[in-house]
Amino acid sequence: MIREFNPEDKDNIIEILSKGFILDQSDIDSFFQDQNRKLMVYDEGGIWGFGYLKNTNKESKEYCILIYVHPHWRKKGIGTAIYNNLTSSLKKLNPNLLTTYFRLGKEDFQGFYRKLGYKRWWGCHEAYYTGSYQPNMDLNFVNYEDKYFNSYTKLIQEGFYELRKENDIKPYKCDFNEKYREYLLNYKSDIYLLLNKDHIMATVVVQNGYLDNIVVAPEYQGQGLGKKVTQFAINKALEKVPAESIHLTVLTWNKKALKLYMDLGFEVLHTVDFYRQFCDKQL
């Protein structure tokens, strides 16, 4: 039967998530602590599937939906029943966009969502580094300070504009507000800037082994800085976490960046695809 999630179902859901979805602490928090989500389970003498629904953008009425059914129980209409159960609550909300994501592999998640009208949106590789320290880079990085907010956010906007536009990830130019400003201040010890006087040449975030926002300003590209910044980030991460914990994500579209990371020793362990459906018809 399909029923509401109970707290005692948590361990079973985590086990299921590890089979086909991205699973880290943020996912666990989202699934089990966020009260603004709906979580259903398929219970037949054990938890054999689940359905998850969450509003990811209130202004644009965007919702993320995830469905999983154990292989033994598939092709019996259970996944579709869970999906219909979740989306029935959306009819009065008039959503504009439904999204989903899953790891590519042996299981045919693509087929299930395509039958429901979803189309592939974009994908990303999840790559891990298990090597040793990189050659020491003679670069003088400093930690982020609030005085760099405008120049830092401008660099991020410019650095990811083409990527977001080519993959139709809106807004194409990242929108930063005061809440994001507070976030930067709270985690300024994890944000590193390479400066030429007060001008930001490049930046990278190193947080609990995760490397993010590796960006080189346009006027400094083509000089090998991207490689050096990544090497610096690897070494900085190795000072804090085990080698097997160092990882990053890169869009499948960004083949140049992927080659750079792989040349430095990263290996792609998982590829995640994102699908979407525009709600231009009645659910």
Confidence of residue 277 (pLDDT cuts 50, 70, 90): very high
What is the structure's pLDDT at 108? 78
Q: Which domains does the chain have, with CATH numbers?
A: 2-122+274-278 (3.40.630.30), 141-264 (3.40.630.30)
Confidence of residue 143 (pLDDT cuts 50, 70, 90): very high
Residue at token pair 């991460």: 237
What is the structure's pLDDT at 137? 77
More confident residue, 174 or 105: 174
Confidence of residue 142 (pLDDT cuts 50, 70, 90): very high
Distance CA 23, CA 14 (A): 8
Exposure on the CB side of residue 172, measured as CA atoms within 13 A: 7
Q: What is the pLDDT of residues 210-253, one digit of tens each?
A: 999 999 999 999 999 999 999 999 999 999 888 788 999 999 99
What does the pLDDT average to over 30-44?
Answer: 80
Residues of the chain with pLDDT > 70: what percent? 92
Distance CA 247, CA 128 (A): 4
Exposure on the CB side of residue 120, measured as CA atoms within 13 A: 13
More confident residue, 155 or 103: 155
Q: Is the pLDDT of residue 7 over 80?
A: yes
What is the structure's pLDDT at 246? 94
Show the tokens assigned to 244.
């097997």
Classify residue 63 as exposed, middle or buried by CB count within 10 Å of its CB (0-12, 13-18, 19+): buried
pTM of the model: 0.87
